[in-house]
Every structure is written in C-alpha cells, then in structure tokens.
Amino acid sequence: MPKVAVLDMAGKEVGSIELAESVFGIEPNKSVMLHMVKNYLANQRQGTQSALTRSEVSGGGKKPWRQKGTGHARQGSTRAPQWTHGGIVFAPKPRDYSYTVNKKVRRLAMKSAFSAKVAENEMVVIDSIAMDEYKTKTIAAMLKAVGAEKKALIVLPEVNEKVIASAANIPGVKTAQVNTLNVYDILNADLFIVAKDAVAKIEEVYA
C-alpha cells in the first residue's frame, strides 16, 4: 500500500498514512485521463459564437449588374461571401459542446490521476486545514512550508469558507471538495494538497 507522510500547516511531519491501493496505487491509464481532460474542457465551452451567413446579412437584394456584357464576372448579390460586407461561409452558430462519459471511465480516470500524483511524489497530506479568521497570509505560509511554489490544488473534506476565501487571492491556487474534484484540476496542479479527513472521503467514494 502507498504510504505518505502527514504534515501540519507549518510543514512539520506529524505522522504517516497508508493509502488504499485500489485508489492511490493503480497503474495510471493515460489515455483515459486524456479523455476526461478533453471532456472537462469541452464542457467548459460556452458555445455562444455566432456569425451571419449570406442569407442573414442585410442588403444585397438587387443584382449588382446585368448577367452579360459588362466584362465583370456574373454576380447575383453584393452580400455573397466574396464581397466586402458579405456573409460568412459556414458561419459558426451557437451550439452545445458538452458530452457525457461513462461512469466507469470517469472513476478509472480519477483513480489514475490520484495514483499518478502519489507516484510522482506530488501529493501532500495535511493533518488539518483550518483557520480562525480570513487571512491569505496563513494559507500562503502553509503553501510555502509544504513546498508549493507554483500551481496547487487544496482539497477539503467539506466547505470551509475561511480557507476558500483566504486561498482565492493567491495566483495558481485552487480549492475543491471531494465531491467537486475533477481530473483536469488534479493533473493541472503541481502539488496536490489534501486534508487528512478528505483522504478518507476519497477512499470511501472511489474504493
């Protein structure tokens, strides 16, 4: 079973924890993780882009010149795509880019992401992430103590407004709860910081 050290918010080791092999110790499936990242990004797209086709552009009702005898190429409308102010060929229209992924695939991708972080020593378990007041400096100090220099994902067992608000102003730092985790955020973070209570919840959900 994978084993990682448990730190406090000051970065000092206060113990260790054994992680479930079925969740944090499997062989990461890269193709499944890629599939889920693409799904996440596709689901984030608004799909609100829109442009006008030649039938939707105003004007152009009159034939610009007669069919023959002018020396020009024949034209039927000044709103054809080749004209300035003409319509757009195959104009994009509002659409929904989202799609669903099989539940088994989602679970395998999540477990692969967890296992990848453990294998690469990019997972840190904190004994307890708690604060008495809203203070960004406290979270910044914790991140520095555990070696989070760039992007970090802090996983909480439940919503903690003080921690979430205090981390919100730090560039590259994101917070999540066990039920809001996704493969993209896990892989995108340079350090995966998980509260000890959240580890138990993750194992309960994915074991």
Residue 99, pLDDT score: 96
What is the rounded CA–CA span in Å between residue 4 and residue 15?
A: 9
Could you tell me the pTM of the whole model? 0.83
Residue 198, pLDDT score: 93
DSSP one-letter code for 69: S
Nearest CA to 206 among 24, 32, 27?
Answer: 24
Angle at 74 between CA 69 and CA 80, to 5 degrees: 150
Residues 6+ apart with CB under 8 A from 112: 26, 27, 28, 29, 30, 32, 33, 183
What is the rounded CA–CA span in Å between residue 153 and residue 192?
A: 5
Q: Which CATH class is domain 3-45+98-206?
A: alpha beta
Encoding tokens for residue 134? 């809203």
pLDDT per residue as tens digits for the range 104-146: 999 999 999 999 999 999 999 999 898 889 999 999 999 999 9
| Residue 130 contacts residue 164 (beta carbons within 8 Å) | no
Which of the residues in the chain have pLDDT under 50? none
Residue 207, pLDDT score: 81
Measured between alpha carbons, how far is residue 133 from residues 87, 126, 141, 172, 177 in Å? Answer: 57, 19, 14, 22, 20
Residue 1, pLDDT score: 78
What is the rounded CA–CA span in Å between residue 178 and residue 48?
A: 31
The domain spans of the chain are 3-45+98-206, 47-96
- In 68-109 the beta strands, taken as DSSP E runs, fall at none
Encoding tokens for residue 57? 């552009």
